[in-house]
Chain A
Amino acid sequence: AQRVTQPEKLLSVFKGAPVELKCNYSYSGSPELFWYVQYSRQRLQLLLRHISRESIKGFTADLNKGETSFHLKKPFAQEEDSAMYYCAHSGSARQLTFGSGTQLTVLP
């Protein structure tokens, strides 16, 4: 069964520092990976998808098939980045499996 692991429940960084939220997946086929974000008092929403190879709000994520990872990175964290971040994976069934999330706090 496919599984998504986010090892850090909580992560705090100072404003301007680099941030990396870790995500590992288990799946034997061709994975499709996503990052979703939930800001305080807002809905869960898509942040980015690996297939687009895009940078959204300064965040990027690279799929590493060798390490089965899809870590989310931003070189300079901002206070408005504070949120709950979920990594999600879609396998052959085209249904999303979510990780347990990482609460990011960016300190002033």
Chain B
Amino acid sequence: EADIYQTPRYLVIGTGKKITLECSQTMGHDKMYWYQQDPGMELHLIHYSYGVNSTEKGDLSSESTVSRIRTEHFPLTLESARPSHTSQYLCASSRLAYTGELFFGEGSRLTVL
């Protein structure tokens, strides 16, 4: 079944640890996105990709990095987690032809102690 998957759903980790949030989609979409969301706040675009080997930074500056080696996979990495990175991270995908419709994953809630 076509879907977009995020793992882990919840992660509690100590300061200084390296973490990778996984995002995979079987929708056949070219475009993928990472949004950061704090409670009661806007979703902020932190990274996006138009396809393999394409990555761009979004509106919100982020210390995280992303890669797009395979169309289906768009992982987000934090080399050294800090408490300020505590947030909800949402992955999304969309067709290359613009429609404004994004398909979201269930999110990864990260807590850095």
- Chain B residues in contact with chain A, CB under 8 A? 35, 40-45, 48, 58-59, 90, 98-107
Contact = CB atoms under 8 A, between A and B. Distances in A.
Given A44-B90, A95-B48, A97-B59, A4 B42 contact: yes
Contacts of B44: 98
Contact of A9 (B40, B48, B59, B104): B40
B94 to A, nearest CB: 9
Interface of A: 1, 4, 9, 32, 34, 43-46, 49, 86, 88, 90, 94-101
Contacts of A32: 100
Main secondary structure, interface of A, reads: strand
Given A86-B43, A97-B59, A98-B42, A49 B100 contact: yes
Contact of A46 (B43, B102, B106, B107): B102
Contacts of B106: 43
Contacts of A90: 98, 100
